[in-house]
Chains A and B, each alone.
Chain A
């Protein structure tokens, strides 16, 4: 199912249960799939129009009045455009605002460079108290939303909008917003991965297994606060780390993971992601190739790391 449909369905359930939840869009309700919420809750959903700074401020005011506002727009407009509003009116003011950014990084596809946020995590990660969450699949998003509502902190949800491969499918999956998800055990290398790269990392792991390399795959769904324990534990075991992310390697997952490792357990590291470039138009597979983020790229870097560790 499309992530935006999962989001709307789970939000509908939560909004029925909790009357304090409200939602504001900035003229992207149709794109972000929140129109059913506007129809179901006409008095608790709002349009800010194409005015994101005000949307975030209004949300902070609603929070100060006791509500739990969600604001929804594309990732660049949900983060870098309103960085100061998030820093001052939301985080510094300790307001419980949930910011939903859709189409992160290369998911912006044909909208290209202006819409392709490779810096959104970096922008928000240095603001105190922010919780930054990037779901992998429908099941994880479904389980995360109630925990995000309960978490009385400003949260950023970096959400792919469309169909995405299911990763957590066994029916026993139990999500914890503050604990990383180990997808499989391994002993030669750890891949820390987030968002839409996760399915690729799993595929790479299977290919590496065929070549005799045992890879541990850990999904870092919450990049802040990051699960330091899981990172250190795995790195101590495998002594080689590869991060894979749909974001600039400056300020994103690679930075967050290596900050933890530098202090606690320095090991050989490398990264797959955007090497400090702007976006451009293309479909996701083409963009993965363009930025050296394919399954084959993951396999090649993993092999190099293991060989040289």
Chain B
């Protein structure tokens, strides 16, 4: 399956997952589907049959509310059966709305309290260096999440320790719960900010498969510092009626009928 097909499957499985419970963080899941497709198809050194493989690459979804997008990706790559996606947020599930590494096979860090996952990911990157392993650590934060001070503490620490095995993605979909990010606390200019904090910074269209692929390659080649890849994305990307909800699609009701309507659009 190529990246474009994979991203379609991730979108479809994400929506199936959220529709199974009728409500969820659909906007910020769909904005990530293309990144997850590229990372898991072309870049991550992982083995779904050996999820704790020594020296494997890791992904920390610091914006933990996008759990369903990660679960869809993991199911798509065979970490667990796709049917399990229908247990999202049901009592006793292994798939809670926010990521839990101790419940879900293939999830590398417990997240959900924004700003914390990035520090953990930086700790893993430091750990990989200490263990002399070639693992690369990927981390995804939201643009709203970048308002957390801890994000910048982690960024400074990664730069100070020259963690060139650390790649940070900012899912810059421009929205957060209460309004557009620019109207709450405008975090622009991301590139300038990350550069001044000692990172290599790359800004791309977060839905351009080839651009994502090239940016991740560039990050791997940058030996002197960690890299931040700012992904300009659309919250709810891929399904027009979800995109059109705008700010409200952060978490919204989503029925099986909605899923079927969306599926037709995806094809």
Closest to B120 in A: A61
Q: Which of B100, B108, B110, B131 contacts A89 (CB 8 A)?
A: B110
Cβ of A64 and Cβ of B120 under 8 Å apart? yes
A46 lies within 8 A of chain B by Cβ:
yes
For the complex, is A58 an interface residue (Cβ under 8 Å from B)?
yes
The chain B residue sitting closest to A52, CB to CB, is: B153
**Given A51-B157, A64-B120, A93-B101, A58 and B150 touching (CB < 8 A)?**
no
B186 contacts the other chain (CB 8 A): no
A57 touches B130 (CB 8 A): no
A-B contact count (CB 8 A): 113
CA distance A49 to B154 in the complex (A): 11
The yes or no answer to A54 lying at the interface (CB within 8 A) is yes
By a CB distance below 8 angstroms, the chain A residues around B172 are: none
Comparing B18-26, B81-89, B111-119, B205-213, the segment that makes contact with chain A is B111-119
Task: Give bound CA distance, A54 to B160, whole Å.
Answer: 13
A66 contacts across to B, CB distance below 8 A: 127, 131
Q: By DSSP majority rule, is chain B's interface helix, strand, loop, or mixed?
A: helix
Asked whether, in the complex, the Cβ of B123 is within 8 Å of the Cβ of A61, the reply is yes
Does B224 interact with chain A (Cβ within 8 Å)? Answer: no
Q: Does B15 contact A (CB under 8 A)?
A: no
Would A64 and B108 be within 8 Å (CB), given that A44-B130, A49-B157, A58-B120 are in contact?
Answer: yes
Least Cβ–Cβ distance between A35 and chain B, in angstroms? 19
The answer to whether the Cβ of B128 comes within 8 Å of any Cβ in the partner chain is: yes
Q: For chain A, what secondary structure do more than half of its interface residues adopt (helix, strand, loop), or is it mixed?
A: helix
**Interface bin, chain A:** 20 to 34
Given A49-B157, A54-B153, A64-B123 contact (CB < 8 Å): yes
When A54-B150, A61-B126 are in contact, do A84 and B120 touch as well, CB less than 8 Å?
Answer: no
Q: In the complex where A64-B108, A64-B109, A67-B130 touch, is A58 in contact with B119 (Cβ < 8 A)? A: yes
Known contacts being A88-B110, A89-B116, is A67 close to B127, with CB within 8 Å?
yes
Residue in chain A with minimal CB distance to B118: A57
Contact string against A for B residues 22-43, beta-carbon threshold 8 Å, 1 for contact and 0 otherwise: 0000000000000000000000
A218 at the interface (CB under 8 A from B): no
Interchain CB contact under 8 A, A64 and B156: no
Chain A residues with CB below 8 A from B115, complex form: 53
Q: Which residues from 124 to 159 on chain B have a C-beta closer than 8 Å to any C-beta of chain A?
A: 124-128, 130-131, 149-150, 153-154, 156-157
Who on chain B is nearest to A69 by CB? B123
A85 & B116 in contact (Cβ 8 Å cutoff): yes
**B50 within 8 A of partner (CB):** no
**A57 vs B158: C-alpha distance when bound (angstroms):** 12
Residues on A with beta carbons closer than 8 Å to the beta carbon of B112: 88
User: Interface of B with A (CB < 8 Å)?
Assistant: 60, 100-102, 108-113, 115-128, 130-131, 149-150, 153-154, 156-157, 160-161
Query: Chain A: residues with CB nearer than 8 A to chain B?
Result: 22, 43-44, 46, 48-49, 51, 53-54, 56-67, 69, 84-85, 87-89, 92-94
